[in-house]
Amino acid sequence: MNPDQTPREAALALLTRYYAAFNAGDWAGMLDCLADDVAHDVNQGARQVGKPAFAAFMGHMERCYRERLEDMVLMASDDGTRGAAEFVVHGQYLATDEGLPEATGQTYVLPAGAFIGLADGRISRLTMYYNLADWEAQVIG
């Protein structure tokens, strides 16, 4: 944390860096923002723990989807231990994901968000949310 920043400002700077890395396709930059034991609550899925699990998840996402996050709104608590992000996902479904409809390059626009835990200058928890039924309706047509 920059000594001139409040905990809230430091949290917002970290979240800004994380989501900028996402939009740049900079997976190493994203991982650098995470705690080693990060807890990742996948939307409609189980919790995954640790950077290696997160890196594997990102590899899977890169294979199946191309996404850019727009209309980003970031929030953080005054003590810098919790944050949230709301955004709109603009994506393309590239390869069929297990248990989901067949991919044929469909595009989608989907509101989404994340609840975020922060500790020691890193993201310690990401709890993701989007409406899967809305996504399916868009890709099925």
Using 50, 70 and 90 to split pLDDT, how confident is the model at 44? confident
Query: What integer pLDDT is reported at residue 73 of this predicted model?
Result: 98
Range of the domain at 84: 7-140
Q: Is residue 61 part of a domain?
A: yes
Tens digit of pLDDT for each residue in 93-107?
A: 999 999 999 999 999
Is 119 within a domain?
Answer: yes
Residue 80 sits in a domain whose CATH number is 3.10.450.50
The residue type found at 93 is Y
Domain membership flag for residue 1: no
Q: Which of 114, 132, 98, 131 is nearest to 39 (CA)?
A: 114
Q: How many Cα atoms occupy the beta-carbon half-sphere of 129 within 13 Å?
A: 8
The pLDDT score that the predictor gives to residue 1 is 59
**Nearest by Cα to 135 from 71, 64, 73, 83:** 64
Tell me: the pLDDT tens digits for 47-69? 999 999 999 999 999 999 999 99
The pLDDT of residue 61: 93
pLDDT band at 45 (very low <50, low <70, confident <90, very high): confident
Domain membership of residue 2 (yes or no) is: no
Count of domains forming the chain: 1
Asked if the model's pLDDT at residue 89 lies above 70, the reply is yes
pTM comes to 0.93
